[in-house]
Structure 1
């Protein structure tokens, strides 16, 4: 064995022993993040995400039940709520659109399966009925829609109904009016 090879083997053995010693002589002290860094103070439960051009769809037994399209959304994971901007959407029954909705602002709560259209919401069904209100709320668990605040329901040029509140289902087969209700029928 040459002197050079022997020196290399000794250096390699010393490095191996030092590595093993460092590995097993851990003092038990873990690396702690700097509390001033954003990642250390970040709470994963309150994570917020901004999304551009979003589509939210719910299906029931393989068929599309409703779909909402928005120009942007802010999702807060901590409360499981998305705030949507410039919203348009459709509700379906047997793959046919039965109700279309539109609003400048909407709140989507996936835990409650609830969509609240705000700031001048509109809804129109496939029977030429148009509903306008300050707020329209769809409760997905019951398939009931509640319109609140200056509710106006028109059908073509034949009928106008106004109320403070209106409750109906997505295909508009059930309707209940409450608070300052007035109906006008035109011929």
Structure 2
């Protein structure tokens, strides 16, 4: 399961963020080798590898939308200050989760299987992580942020949405705890990973 989680961001090493509908597959394909080169570079420390990859992928993730979707209805009850704070903390959690998995890379390959467009403003890019013994399907969900400019708002691993998983966890937490307690919990988790 850790290898599957690691693969979440494996192919997302992008040098520029202007993803258009017709070039999503090509840009993904053109950047896989760059990611693999960073991961295979024995001269780079783990932290440096993470920094280089995260800096390059940040522009194509809509962390604000991911944060909002992960909280569901709770989002609308928050002040702008609390929303901004949550975006920051949740984004850090996503990145920490990725960094923790870097050591699990063992020469897996990523294949792009194609894309589908279930709605006019949604695209699902289907990829596959190919290991020595197993294959795992990973779907990246894009939406049209502005005219023909697309960003990732969710990732499905084996049919399971990362954002829906967080939404269920947060909803369960908030049944008997406050939003501020959730923020404190996430902040403490983030700090423990530093």
The two structures have a TM-score, normalised by structure 2, of: 0.24
Query: Per residue, is there more helix in 1 or in 2?
Result: 2
Query: Per residue, is there more strand in 1 or in 2?
Result: 1
The two structures have a TM-score, normalised by structure 1, of: 0.25
Relative contact order, CA 8 A, sep 6+: which one is greater?
2
